[in-house]
Structure 1
Amino acid sequence: MAFLAGLLVLDAPASALNNAGADAGARTDNTIAVKKIRTPQGVLPYVSAQAFRYWLRTGLETSGGDWVAAPVFREGKIAYTDANPVRNWDDDLFGYMRAPSKKTDAVKAKETTPLEKDREITRVSPFRVGTFVAIAPSPIVSDFGTMTRQDGDPVPHEHEFYRAHLRGLFSLDLTCAGTFFDSERVGYKNLDTYRREEAQNEGCREVKVRKQMALRLPIEKRCQRVSTLVRALAELSGGAKQALHYTDLVPAIVFLAVVKNGNNPFYRALRASKTHQTEFDREAFAEILRVYKEDFLSDIHIGWAKGFLDEERQALQDAIVAAASSLTIHLQHPREAIQAMADKLADSDNEAWYE
C-alpha cells in the first residue's frame, strides 16, 4: 500500500483565480468577489479543490496525449460521467457516482456504457486534492473598470484580486489506481455486470485489496495512467480572470514523495513569517525527515524555481546539505521534479508501490 504525497505552491502575483460570484454587499451591483477565508490573522484568498481538479482534468483532456477522458451526460439538472473506470482514465483516477435513470434522454444516450438495472455504482477518487489557501494573509484589492464601447454613459464594473502564495496538498492512492472494487460498500461498488465483463476482457485479474475483492489492470496500464496524471501537474493552466490577471500556474514550489500511507508529511515545511511573508521552516523540515523517515518509499523530489523567494530556497538547500539522513533528496526546478517523479511512477520495476 502506497500513496504519492505532494505539496504545491502557486504564485499568484496579482490574480483572481477562483471567484465566488456577485458580492451582495458591495458598492456596485455587479461586483465580482474572490473566494476567501476570514481569520483573526487576516483574509486568506483560496482556490477550491474542485477548481484545481477542473484545471487539471481539462488540461489532460486537451493535451493531445494518451489520456482517455470519459464522456459526460446530462439529464436536466443532473450530470454524470460514463462511470467506466476500465475504459476511461479519469473515471479511474477521479472517481464517480452514477445511479440508474428512467428519463428518456438517458435511455437514448448510446455513447454511454449501460448501467445494470436497479444498481448504482460509486468510486472513491484515488486522487485527492486539498483547498489551495494563501500561506499568509493577503489584502483583497478592488479594481474598477468601465464598459465604454457603446453610446451613452460608461457602465462601471468592479472585481477583486489579490497577491498571494497559494499552498495545497494532494494525495494519489497508488494501490487503488487501476484497481476496481466489486463490493457492496458505498464508494467501493465500482462495477456492475457490463463493467465487470469489460474488465475481464481487458486482462484484469482478481485480487483481494484491503480485505475486499477487486479486479486489477495489468501493471503497465496502471503505471501509464498514474504517470500521465502526474506529468500534467507540470503543464497546469486555467483559472478565472486570466484575460485581466494572467497568471502562470506552473507550481513555483513542489514537494513529492511516495509514502506508506495517506498522510501528507510536507504541509508544515512552509509557514508565514510575522511580516506575512512565505518562509521555509528549517526546524519543521528537519523534524519531517526524522519523524517520517520510515514512511518514505521513494526519494524526495523538491522543485523550487529560481527567482522565487531565492533566500528561502537557499535555506532549503542548506538544510538538505546539513540533513543527517539516509533519505535521498533532489532539489530541482518544479517541472523537473514533477517529470522525475512521473518517470519513476511509469517504471513497472516500482510495482511494489502499486500493491
Structure 2
Amino acid sequence: MTYLAGKLVLAVEAGAPNNGRSDSTTARVKKTRICGRDYPYVSAQAFRRWLRDTMTANGSVPSPTTRVGKAQQKAQKATTAADPITYADDDLFGYLKATAKANDESTTVRDTAFMVGTFLSVEPVRLTEDFGVMSRDIPEPVLHAHEFYTADLAAPFLLDIPRVGTFTLPNANGAGRPNYLTEQAAMSIATAAAAGAAVTSFRGHSAVRLPLAKRRERVAILLDALAELAGGAKKALHYGDRLPALFALAPMAGGVNPLGFVIDGADDGSGLQVRGDVLRRELAAWAGEWEAPVLVGWRPGFRDTLRKQFEKDLADEIDEGKVVIGHPRTVLLDLAGRIRRGEHDGWFDDRSR
C-alpha cells in the first residue's frame, strides 16, 4: 500500500481554537458562510502548526525558521531551513524557499507528504460573542469582546508514505517534480550519504532516499503526534482538549480517500453522521485497492448513539477484523509501533498496478 487516507473530527466545546482577523475590540474566530449561515473552521495551517509543535514536544527537532523582509515592506517571507534530510518537519510538511538575489538560483521546493483539509464545522453554528471588561487599577475600563463556539469539525487527510524520506532531483534541464532538491541542496547528499541515504529512482525521477529505518521513524513520530495532539488559541479563556474525538484511517494503493462521506455532516444540518453502510459500499467499490483493517479511533463518551449504530451496521466487518475500533490514542500508537517494528514495510514503496 502507498497512502494512509483518513477523516478526522475535532470536538470543540465552548472554544475559539483558531482566530481570524479582529475588528475594533472584538476578536473573531475563523468562519465561512454557506447559504447565509456561519460555519466555523480551523485552518489546515493551524492544525499543521499544532501537529508540528506536538512533534517538537515529543522530542523531534524542528527546522529553524528565518524571517526575511522588513516590517514595513509588503514582500515579507518566513522560511524554514528547507532541509528535509535533516529535519522531519521539512520532510513531512514541505516548504518553499526562494532567494531574490542576483545570480542566485537557490530555490528549493518540497511538496507535502502529509496533506490535510480545512476542519469545517459539520453543521451551521450560532457564534457566541463574549463581552469583557478590563478595569483592574485603571481609571477608565477597557471594553473587549471575542467569539467562541461549540461544534464538531471534520477534515480529510492523506499521507503519501513512499514520499517520506524520498527527495527527487531536477533533471538535466532543471525540470523536476515539485518535491525536488536543487543541486545546491543536493550538495548535502554528502550529509545524506553519511546518514545512510542512497541515490535511487522514484516515480520516474532520480532521487535521494533515506534509510528505511529513518523513514519508518518519521511516519511513526507523525502518528505519535496525532495521538497526543495539543494546541489552539485562547487556552487561558477556552482551554480545550484537541485530541481527535474520532477518526477513520484506511491504507490505500492510490491517493483516493474513500472516507469523505463516511464521516460528515447530515444533509439537514442536524450535526455529525458516521455511516457504516457508506463505508461498506466504499470498501466494496475499492476492492483490491485497500488493505484491512480500516482503523477507527473513537473516544469513549463521544456521540455514543452514533457509535452503537455504526458498530451494529458493521458487525460482520468488525467480527472478521476488517474494521477495528478503539481509543484514538491507542489505535494510533499501536500503528506507530507496528511501523517502527517493520510490520508495514510494504507501504514504503509504490505498489505496482
TM-score of the two chains, using structure 2 as the length reference? 0.89
Question: Kindly tell me: are residues 271 and 130 of structure 1, through their superposed partners in 2, closer, same or farther at Cα, counting changes over 3 Å?
Answer: closer
Q: Percent identity?
A: 35
Query: Deviations 1:40-79 (Å, cap 9, x if unpaired)?
Result: 173210000000001110111122x3x2321112222322
Q: Which residue of 2 aligns with 1:351?
A: 345
Q: Aligned letter for 2:120?
A: V
Q: Of the candidates 277, 280, 284, which is equivalent to residue 271 of structure 2?
A: 277
Distance 1:333 1:41 in 2: 37
- CA drift at 1:320: 2.2
Opposite residue 46 of structure 1, the aligned amino acid is: Y
2:216 corresponds to: 223
Partners of 2:199 and 2:191 lie apart in 1 by 13
Kept in 1: contact 2:246–2:298 (CA 8 A) = yes
Three-state SS of the structure 2 residue aligned to 1:90 is helix
Q: Deviations over 1:263-295 (max 9, x none)?
A: 211121123343622222233222122122322
Q: Which runs of 5+ in 2 are unaligned?
A: 70-75
C-alpha contact 2:168 2:176 (8 A) present in aligned 1: no
Matched, 1:331 2:325: yes
Instruction: Give the whole-Å Cα distance in 2 for the aligned partners of 1:72 and 1:324.
Output: 45
1:276 aligned partner, one-letter code: S
Q: Does 2:88 match 1:89? A: yes
How do 1:170-319 and structure 2 match up within 5 A? 170-183=157-170, 184-185=175-176, 187-193=178-184, 194-273=187-266, 274=268, 276-319=270-313
- 1:5 Cα offset (Å): 1.3
The change in CA–CA distance for 1:143 and 1:324 in structure 2 (over 3 A counts) is closer
Cα offsets for 1:109-152 (capped at 9, x unmatched)? xxxxxxx9523111111111110001111111111111111332
Q: Does 2:13 align with 1:20?
A: no
Q: Which of 23, 30, 34 in structure 2 is aligned with 1:39?
A: 34
* CA RMSD of superposed structures (Å): 2.1
CA deviation vs aligned residue, 1:197-229 (integer Å, no higher than 9, x gap): 222222212221111111111111100111111
- C-alpha distance in 1 between matches for 2:318 and 2:334: 24
**Contact between 1:181 and 1:191, CA under 8 Å: does it hold in 2?**
no
Contact kept, 8 Å, 2:107 with 2:182, in 1: the verdict is: no
The answer on whether the counterparts of 1:146 and 1:156 sit within 8 Å (CA) in structure 2 is yes
- Tell me, in whole angstroms, the C-alpha distance in 2 between the residues paired with 1:291 and 1:16: 39
What is the deviation of 1:257? Answer: 2.2
Q: Work out which of the residue numbers 125, 143, 150 in structure 2 matches 1:156.
A: 143
| Contact map agreement 2:265 2:273 (CA 8 A) in 1 | yes
Q: Provide the residue aligned with 2:10 in structure 1.
A: 10
In structure 2, the residue matched to 1:52 is 47
Change in Cα spacing, 1:339 to 1:47, as seen in structure 2 (3 Å) is same
Give ranges in structure 1 of 5+ residues lacking alignment. Answer: 24-28, 104-115
